Amino acid sequence: MAPRLPAVDLLVLAGGRGDRLGGADKAALVVGGRSLLDRVLDVDLGGRVVVVGDTPVPEGVGRTLEDPPGGGPVAGIAAGLTALIGPARRQTAWVAVCAVDQPHAAGVLARLRAELPGVGRGVDALCPSDGTGRRQWLLAVYRRASLEAALRRLGAPRHASVRSLVADLRWGEVEVDPGRLGDIDTREDLRRWE
């Protein structure tokens, strides 16, 4: 019998300015006939979902902004964690953090969730391995307590680098097809993914 999968909250970062895309809303970009946000939201991780960014979201999905807006991904993570606190302050032990501009994020996140029952207590976060040793910090599942502790240690999240937030966490890696990893930062990236 397969182990029961833990519920995982999902925090989708969709607040970037998209400067290299002429200011386009990355969440609304279309790949394979569907918006990038819809593609990410295909995954059901069993927890709450919040999108951080000034973009429309479907019914039942929470939305928030970092305050003030434009503070970068770490500020977005901080705002998203606050928004994920549910009724009676019930929280999942794990939270997935995902940048919206990754067309295959849903499948990768589902794969990471499937590995959680075997993750030891010494692991703070789990990310896909692309074979290069580069960690995918914005396509990862974090132990909530570890991520919150990292934010407290960091102090002010505005304009902080993601590396400064998470590099000292203890990481586990899951092998995935490298073709399922990558993001869209430019029009050329968008054409390649289409």
Instruction: Tell me the CA distances in angstroms from 16 to 24, 138, 143, one per residue in order.
Output: 9, 13, 24
3-state per-residue secondary structure call for the chain: CCCCCCCEEEEEECCCCCHHHCCCCHHHCEECCEEHHHHHCCCCCEEEEEEECCCCCCCCCEEECCCCCCCCHHHHHHHHHHHCCCHHHCCCCEEEEEECCCCCHHHHHHHHHHHHHHCCCCCCEEEEECCCCCCCCCEEEEEHHHHHHHHHHHCCCCCCCHHHHHCCCCEEEEECCHHHCCCCCCHHHHHHHC
pLDDT in tens, 121-142: 999 999 998 777 788 999 999 9
CATH code of 83's domain: 3.90.550.10
In-domain check, residue 26: yes
> What pTM was estimated for this model as a whole?
0.92
In-domain check, residue 2: no
Total domains, the chain: 1
In-domain check, residue 124: yes
- Residue labelled with tokens 């009676």: 88
| Tokens standing for residue 139 | 């396509």
pLDDT in tens, 6-39: 999 999 999 766 566 556 788 888 988 999 999 9
In-domain check, residue 1: no
The C-alpha atoms of residue 77 and residue 87 are separated, in whole angstroms, by 20
pLDDT: is 13 or 182 the higher one?
13
pLDDT: is 180 or 2 the higher one?
180
In-domain check, residue 51: yes
Tell me, what's the pLDDT at 19? Answer: 60
Tell me, what's the pLDDT at 112? Answer: 97
Q: Which is nearest to 41 in space by CA: 51, 33, 32, 31? A: 51
pLDDT in tens, 81-130: 999 986 656 789 999 999 999 999 999 999 999 999 999 999 999 999 87
| Tokens standing for residue 74 | 């770490």
Could you list the residue range(s) of the whole structural domain that residue 74 is in? 8-193
pLDDT in tens, 140-159: 999 999 999 999 999 889 99
In-domain check, residue 3: no
